[in-house]
Amino acid sequence: MKFSPYTIAAAPRTLPIWQSILDDLSNPPAARVARVLGVGTRTVYRWNRTGKAPRSACLALFWLTRWGRSEVHCAAVNDCAAAVGMARALDLEVRQLRTQLAHVLALSDSGAANDPVTRPGVAPPLPRLAGAHRESQS
């Protein structure tokens, strides 16, 4: 199982138009938008005049809008749910493996010389012989 919540596929495929982004951000001054995006103020004035900006500029400001914040919030909730599910699945797997290990260790309590759980100085239990039980009953 691999859990990777961050992926390039999470980028929005469609973006609101430039003016809608600015409207959602309460129409910040061009100088402020230019400072945030690292472009000149005249460039932002030109984008405002034409109503179009490069996708990279729209994408950068999109994450500040209510739509972008909503996408981030939804992704965080979904990532959290996936991580919790994975943690529960791994916990279940650990419990199953511990049960299986306990079963295997119980089966291996034969007192063999190469038994890894036999402690030095402690005599292993004597193995039961198949015929010994029958002889004691007769």
C-alpha torsion sign, points 9, 11, 12, 13? negative
Report d(CA 68, CA 61) in Å as an integer.
Answer: 9
Check pLDDT > 60 for residue 97.
yes
Q: Give the mean model confidence (pLDDT) for residues 15-26.
A: 96
The pLDDT-based confidence of 39 (bands split at 50, 70, 90) is very high
Quote the pLDDT of residue 110.
Answer: 61
Check pLDDT > 60 for residue 134.
no
Q: Give the mean model confidence (pLDDT) for residues 40-65.
A: 96
Q: Which residue has the higher pLDDT, 11 or 136?
A: 11
Check pLDDT > 70 for residue 112.
no
The pLDDT-based confidence of 53 (bands split at 50, 70, 90) is very high
Report d(CA 12, CA 58) in Å as an integer.
Answer: 11
What is the pTM assigned to this prediction?
Answer: 0.61
Check pLDDT > 60 for residue 106.
yes
pLDDT digit string (tens) for 70-93?
A: 999 998 998 899 999 999 999 999
Report d(CA 97, CA 64) in Å as an integer.
Answer: 47
What Cα–Cα distance (Å) separates residue 123 from each residue in 100, 103, 115?
A: 26, 22, 12
Yes or no: say if 24 and 16 are a contact pair by the CB < 8 Å rule: yes
Quote the pLDDT of residue 35.
Answer: 97
